[in-house]
Amino acid sequence: MKTKLTTLLTTAFLGLTLASCSTTSSAGAKPYPLSTCIVSDNKLGSMGTPVTKVHQGQEVKFCCEPCVKKFDANPAKYMAKL
C-alpha cells in the first residue's frame, strides 16, 4: 500500500512538473500586439483558449495547435506580420 501511494504521489508530482515546463514562459518577452492568430487571422479565443509561444523574445499567440505547427515550419513568414 505504501509503495502504491508513493508511486501515485511521484507520478502526480512529475506530471505537474512536466506540465509547467511545457508551457512557454512569456516573462520578459515583448507582448503580442494583435487580437488575431498570427497564422490564420482568426480572432484569438474563437477556437478555445489561445496557445502562446515565445519566439526570439517575442510573444506569439495562436488560435489552435495546428497553427503552431504551421508557424514552426516557416516562422519568418508569419513574424513579418508583426
**What integer best gives the mean pLDDT of the chain?**
83
Distance CA(77)–CA(17), nearest Å, equals: 33
pTM of the model as a whole: 0.67
63 three-class SS: coil
- The strand pairing partners of 53, in sequence order, are 60
Tens-digit pLDDT profile for residues 25-36: 668 999 999 999
The one-letter amino acid code at 23 reads: T
Res 30: pLDDT = 96
* CA distance to 12, 37, 56, 81, per residue, from 18 (Å): 10, 26, 22, 32
Q: What is the mean pLDDT of residues 7-26?
A: 50
Distance CA(58)–CA(5), nearest Å, equals: 42
